[in-house]
Amino acid sequence: MDKQLILQLAMYFIIVNLVGLWVGYTIIQQDVQPTIINDDPNDPINSLGLLGYMLLGTILILAAIKFLPDNVLYWVLKGTEALALIITAFITFFAFIPEEFALLLAVALITIRIFLPQYLIWRNISSIVATVGVGALLGSSIGVFPVIIFLILLGIYDYIAVFKTKHMVTMAKAVAKKNLSFTFALPTPNHQFELGTGDLVMPLVFSVSVLNDSLSRGMVWPYATIPSLAILAASFVGLAFTMDYGSKHVGKALPALPLQVGLMILMYGILSVSGTFP
């Protein structure tokens, strides 16, 4: 086992999800619930809507990679990064500081990414902030059952996109080459591994959705986080196993979500059967 790789993975996973649970809790308390497809967060159509949005974004990025000149592609992707970061950073920071300062801090982070793009630490910090913002907002906006449907569909898609069509590999290489905040850089003495932000966003979406459900059932903070933390632990086991396998087979792209999704849903089933929920 590559201990350095797993330690980095554990550090980012813990930071993203602990901060993400708090941000998700503040969003839930403020009763902020963006509409995905319709106003009912428990309608399964929302899971199809999320998948549709994600596929559309993937198609647009792949089209840009294929048809745009390299110098133009760089600025298109940088613009996409900046737009995503200003929104997600504001959501994340607003959970801790007043909105005026949250906006200033978000702008500062984007400025650093534009003028100091070579520093991996700032890329990873930006990825943390973006992952927390997206995961917390989506998790608080969709019910547990639609999330489970979405995760199953996404796990299947991830397998196909990596092993069959391989377009996810093409996209990941292009993004990593441009040093964008859509992946985490995990350097080791032998290789720099790239972890897609989606592999941390999806566990956070599920755990925040479960947190929302736990609170609605009468559980109180912080005890309401216990089911969410159990689901996150299951997710980490799957992700760590996949990353460890990847470290022993450098150059072989692997989809992390299928194993993560399976273990998270298994853990949720165990929690439900055991009577963890009121």
State whether the Cα torsion 252-256-257-261 is positive or negative: positive
**pLDDT for 144-184, tens place per residue?**
999 999 999 999 999 998 888 888 878 877 777 777 778 88
Torsion of CA 55, 60, 65, 70, to 10 degrees: -150
DSSP, residue by residue, 166-230? -HHHHHHHHHHHTT-TTEEEEE-SS-EEEEETHHHHHHHHHHHHHHHHHHHTT--TTTTHHHHHH
**pLDDT for 216-275, tens place per residue?**
999 999 899 999 999 999 999 999 998 888 777 776 777 889 999 999 999 999 999 988
Residue 194 bridge partners (DSSP) = 185
| Residue 278: per-residue pLDDT | 66
Which residues, 6 or more positions from 81, have their beta carbon under 8 angstroms from its beta carbon?
Answer: 113, 126, 180, 181, 182
Q: Tell whether the model's pLDDT for residue 142 goes beyond 90.
A: yes
Distance from chain centroid for Cα 88: 11
Whole-angstrom distance, CA of residue 153 vs CA of residue 160: 11
**pLDDT for 32-90, tens place per residue?**
778 888 888 899 999 998 999 989 988 998 898 889 898 888 888 888 889 999 999 99
Whole-angstrom distance, CA of residue 230 vs CA of residue 179: 33
What's the DSSP call for residue 141? T
Q: Which residue has the higher pLDDT, 177 or 100?
A: 100
Mean pLDDT of 86-107: 94
Mean pLDDT of 132-137: 95
Whole-angstrom distance, CA of residue 179 vs CA of residue 113: 10
Whole-angstrom distance, CA of residue 25 vs CA of residue 15: 15
- The predicted model scores a pTM of 0.93
Whole-angstrom distance, CA of residue 178 vs CA of residue 199: 20
Q: Does residue 109 contact residue 125 with C-beta atoms inside 8 Å?
A: yes
Mean pLDDT of 200-218: 95
Whole-angstrom distance, CA of residue 31 vs CA of residue 171: 36
| Residue 224: per-residue pLDDT | 94
What is the distance between the terminal CA atoms of the chain, rounded to a whole angstrom?
A: 39
Whole-angstrom distance, CA of residue 173 vs CA of residue 125: 20
**pLDDT for 11-42, tens place per residue?**
999 999 999 999 999 999 998 778 888 888 89
C-alpha to C-alpha distances, 44 to 41, 141, 171, 211, 262, nearest whole angstrom: 8, 12, 28, 19, 19
| Residue 1: per-residue pLDDT | 57
Mean pLDDT of 116-138: 92
Q: Which residue has the tokens 């959705």?
A: 209
**Paired tokens of 75:** 């600025």
Whole-angstrom distance, CA of residue 108 vs CA of residue 97: 15
